[in-house]
Amino acid sequence: MKTVLAVIYIVISSSEENTSMNPKHDSSSTTESYEFGDSLGSDLRSIAYYLRQHKFNEYDRRYITDEIEAESSKLYFAGFPKPPLRSLHWEVHKYCEISFLSCIAYLIKRIRNTALRRNDDTSVVMEDQKWFTRTFTEQIDQTDLECRKMWAEAEERADPFEGPIERFQWRVTASYFLCMYTMNETLELEHLNDTSCDNHANCLNPYLGPHNLDIRADDSIPFNCARYSFCPDPCCPIYHIKSYRECWESTANPCFAENHPGHRQCIIHKSENVELKDIILNRWNVSCMCPWLGYKWKSFYGICVDVDECEENIDPCNPLSEACINLPGSYKCVCKWGYMWNKESKKCEFSSIAESLVLRKSTEKENEDNSSDSFFKRIFFRNKEKFFRSLGNHIHLDMTEILLILMISPIEVMF
């Protein structure tokens, strides 16, 4: 198999280690080439790991300073920060707005300078070294001790950023963009080939082990690992689950309140959540199962609403002779003007009365003076023979035809 090589040229400040949140940085710069080959997959996994650190372990650095409050505020697995960032991190915005590859090229250059990287995490080392038996307990403990030292150093220094607040802004902005690329189904994010995707990027979890077996992190399902790493889960805003049943029966599930047990499944369609602005504001379109036929879930209202079959063009009405009328949970086809229902053929057929409803024929225009006859009077004279013949033969006309024939309107129609 040939290796596909892509080259992205990006301009990085020569004082990158000292980058601030202010875009007015050192104007001197160098042009560097970033080459993607077999490293692209590895770089994506490193970025995913670093942003999972944020998703599962970070709190809002803008407002929270108390340690106890911080521990109970690590909720970015449920939604992006509220209120949202006042401004995106200027550098992330600059490169990630250009293209996906430009974004990845920039992000990985920054992440390589962080104190704790993916390859240092205990769970990843255990996976690489195949340390899954008690024989390796000593090695695992020593590796985890080193991992936690690097974690503490990363929390204190926040390298390569100017501090925890800039790092917070940087990781939130990066998550915004990569979640958007995931929802737009960028091909490179379909499978990250990460056997350690199901961890919270915080060394070895003493309760869950190297793999938390969260079903949402199953990389065999397209875009699952990317969503688990970059996006919150509005359908299942829970820290950890092993089956979707845990989610459907949770009161945090947006489909819980309006539905009965067995009808609480929540689905988020990527194609309906592709706009960056909506992602930033946590305006997610989710779909719930509606218990009534002909209804669908509407995220905007948070309830099941009637499906307008006529508006959505899914009705089977004959467009030539029938009109569609929307009804609660259903619809009905009715005969258009000039057509009447035939019980025998069970379809709308052209009615002879329609010919009489032509206001004026071109041949009449030449022969008639400025007529003052009413509209319905002319209908009567054109159909009187049919009417009296029907009465003589005791044959009943359609009620509409009789009414139109008998009604001699005093309202004059001017021609």
**pLDDT one-digit tens code per residue, 25-39:** 333 333 344 566 568
Query: pLDDT per residue over 229-252, tens digit each?
Result: 999 999 999 999 999 999 999 999
Q: Is the pLDDT of residue 413 over 70?
A: no
Coil/strand/helix, residue 96: helix
Q: Is the pLDDT of residue 114 over 70?
A: yes
Burial-class residue 269 by CB neighbours within 10 Å (0-12, 13-18, 19+): exposed
Query: What are the CB-based long-range contacts (under 8 Å, 24+) for 162-170?
Result: 162/18, 162/19, 162/20, 162/21, 164/61, 165/61, 165/62, 166/20, 166/21, 166/89, 167/61, 168/54, 168/58, 168/60, 168/61, 168/62, 169/21, 169/85, 169/88, 169/89, 170/89, 170/91, 170/92, 170/110
Q: Which amino acid is at 2?
A: K
Give CA–CA dist 129/149, Å, rounded.
21
Give CA–CA dist 326/354, Å, rounded.
26
Mean pLDDT of 178-207: 94
Give CA–CA dist 371/360, Å, rounded.
11
Give which of 246, 390, 64 is closest to 237, Cα–Cα.
Answer: 246
Give which of 113, 78, 92, 68 is closest to 10, Cα–Cα.
Answer: 92
* Cis amide prior to 410 (ω within 30 degrees): no
Report residue 254 CA to chain centroid gap: 15
Give CA–CA dist 366/381, Å, rounded.
19
List alpha helices for 184-281, DSSP H. Answer: 224-230, 244-248, 276-280
Mean pLDDT of 14-25: 35
Residues in the chain, how many?
Answer: 415
Give which of 194, 244, 190 is closest to 222, Cα–Cα.
Answer: 190
Please provide residue 163's backbone torsions phi and psi, each rounded to the nearest 5 degrees: 170, 175
Mean pLDDT of 382-411: 50
Tally DSSP H helices, then E strands, for the chain: 14, 10
Neighbouring C-alpha atoms within 13 Å toward the C-beta of 83: 6
CB 196 within 8 Å of CB 208: no
Mean pLDDT of 161-184: 97
- Does the reported pTM lie above 0.75? no
Q: Average per-residue pLDDT in the chain?
A: 81
Mean pLDDT of 273-297: 90
Structure tokens at 33: 């080439």
Helix (H) or strand (E) holding 335: strand 330-335
The residues, ordered by sequence, that sit 6+ positions from 52 with a Cβ below 8 Å of its Cβ are 199, 200, 201, 228, 229
